Amino acid sequence: MSGLILQFGTSRFLQAHADLFLHEAREAGQDVPNVVVVQTSGDVSRAGRLAAFGDKEGYPVIIRGLEDGQPVDRTVKVKSVERGLSTARDWAEIVDLFVERTEFVLSNTGDAGYDVDVSERVKGLGVETPFASFPAKLAQLLHARFQAGGRPITILPCELVNRNGPVLKGLVRTFAIEAGATQDFVDWLDTNIVFANTLVDRIVSEALEPVGAVAEPYALWAIEDQPGLTLPCRHPAIVVAEDIEPFERLKLHILNLGHTVLADIWLSGGRPKDETVRAILSDPGVRSRIDAVYWDEVVPGFAAMGMEREARTYVETTLARFLNPYLEHRLSDIAGNHALKIERRLAAFLDWCGRPAPTLQAIIAKTQRTL
- Fold type of domain 246-370: N-(1-d-carboxylethyl)-l-norvaline Dehydrogenase; domain 2 (1.10.1040)
Domain residue spans of the chain = 4-243, 246-370
- pLDDT value at position 263? 97
End-to-end CA distance of the chain: 51
Q: Rounded distance, CA 53 to CA 60, Å? A: 11
3-state secondary structure of 140: helix
Q: Rounded distance, CA 244 to CA 88, Å? A: 35
- pLDDT value at position 162? 86
| Beta bridge partners of residue 106, listed in sequence order | 7, 156
Q: What is the pLDDT tens value at each position of the chain, 371 positions in all?
A: 589 999 999 999 999 999 999 999 999 999 999 999 999 876 666 778 899 999 999 999 999 998 888 899 999 999 999 999 999 999 999 999 999 999 999 999 976 788 887 777 777 899 999 998 999 999 999 999 999 998 999 999 999 888 999 999 999 999 999 999 999 999 999 999 999 999 999 999 999 999 999 999 999 999 999 999 999 999 999 999 999 999 999 999 999 999 999 999 999 988 999 999 999 999 999 999 999 999 999 999 999 999 999 999 999 999 999 999 999 999 999 999 999 999 999 999 999 999 999 999 999 999 877 65
- pLDDT value at position 280? 98
Q: Rounded distance, CA 362 to CA 69, Å? A: 37
Domain 4-243 has CATH 3.40.50.720: yes
- pLDDT value at position 45? 65
Q: Residue 166 CB: number of other CB atoms within 10 A?
A: 16
Backbone dihedral angles phi then psi of residue 165, each to the nearest 5 degrees: -65, -55
Q: Rounded distance, CA 274 to CA 97, Å? A: 41
Kind of pairing between the strands at 198-201 and 70-78: unpaired
Element at 153 (helix H, strand E): strand 153-157
Burial 110-125 (b: 16+ CB within 10 A, else e): bbebbebeeebbeeeb
Q: Rounded distance, CA 334 to CA 347, Å? A: 18
3-state secondary structure of 217: coil
Listing DSSP states for 278-312 in one string gives HHHHTSHHHHHHHHHIIIIIIHHHHHHTT-HHHHH
Task: Verify cis geometry, omega within 30 degrees of 0, for the bond prior to 157.
Answer: no
